[in-house]
């Protein structure tokens, strides 16, 4: 206790699409992780600001903002920048959570920097923030189950029952990593704890 400055603020952004029809799709894993993190932190998504729905809470004396942008996935960065500017968030207090088809389903990978890869939402965040030095949590959703299925069709499809159990493991791990991060655990320690099988 007492480790935080009065003004310390954390921002955690989960990526997804706001319409109900996307609620249970693979592309909304970022939202799912934030929902679980909010439960663990006893926070509620009740505020609309900066083109996002946010939940606010405090951990010790640090302010924590969980945000689900309503800009749709590909414009996540626009909402992110508005929130960063509004709350004057420092680089090492900001993290983004999103789905990744290049990781096995349910696998969590946390990094401090890197390219956005093929993820359009993360590309927009990198572009708007004007930096690749963005903490990120990627939750694996695996590849399409059918060989000729288009990637976009897959990520916008509902999570099936067979995949849900494995995906829930990744969501739970990501939510707990968020709790540790906003609780003041340095990102290197968060990575060491949750990237159990290395990069």
Predicted pLDDT at 7: 66
Predicted pLDDT at 2: 38
Predicted pLDDT at 5: 47
Predicted pLDDT at 59: 94
Cα–Cα distance, 37 to 8 (Å, whole number): 19
Predicted pLDDT at 117: 82
Calculate the dihedral angle through the C-alpha atoms of 86, 92, 97, 100, rounding to the nearest 10 degrees. Answer: 130
38, 53, 96, 101, 108 from 175: Cα distances, Å: 8, 17, 12, 19, 11
Predicted pLDDT at 1: 34
Predicted pLDDT at 116: 80
pTM (two decimals): 0.93
Bridge-partner residues for 118, per DSSP?
none
Contact 4, 184 (CB under 8 A): yes
Predicted pLDDT at 16: 96
Cα-only R_g, the chain: 16
* Domains of the chain (ranges, CATH numbers): 9-194 (3.40.50.1470)
Q: Is 89 exposed, middle or buried (0-12, 13-18, 19+ CB in 10 A)?
A: middle
Predicted pLDDT at 144: 87
For the annotated catalytic residues, the residue numbers are: 27
Predicted pLDDT at 32: 98
Successive 10-residue mean pLDDT values, the chain, 199 residues = 60 96 96 98 97 96 96 96 96 96 95 89 95 96 88 92 94 98 97 77
Predicted pLDDT at 64: 98
């Amino acid at each position: 206790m007492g480790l935080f400055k009065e003004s310390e603020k954390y921002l955690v952004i989960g990526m997804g699409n706001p319409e109900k029809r996307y609620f249970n799709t693979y592309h909304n894993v970022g939202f799912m992780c934030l929902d679980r993190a909010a439960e663990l932190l006893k926070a509620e998504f009740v505020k609309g600001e900066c083109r996002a729905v946010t939940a606010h809470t405090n951990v010790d004396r640090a302010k924590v903002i969980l945000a689900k942008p309503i800009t749709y996935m590909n414009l996540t960065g626009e909402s992110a920048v508005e929130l960063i500017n509004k709350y004057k968030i420092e680089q090492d207090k900001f993290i983004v959570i999103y789905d990744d088809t290049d990781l096995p389903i349910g696998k969590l990978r946390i990094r401090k920097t890197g390219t956005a890869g093929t993820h359009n939402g993360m590309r927009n965040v990198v572009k708007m923030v004007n930096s690749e030095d963005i903490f990120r949590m990627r939750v694996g959703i695996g590849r399409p189950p059918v060989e000729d299925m288009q990637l976009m069709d897959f990520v916008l499809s509902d999570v099936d029952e067979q995949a849900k159990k494995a995906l829930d493991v990744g969501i739970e791990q990501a939510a707990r990593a968020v709790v540790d991060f906003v609780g003041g655990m340095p990102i290197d320690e968060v990575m060491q704890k949750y990237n159990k099988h290395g990069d």
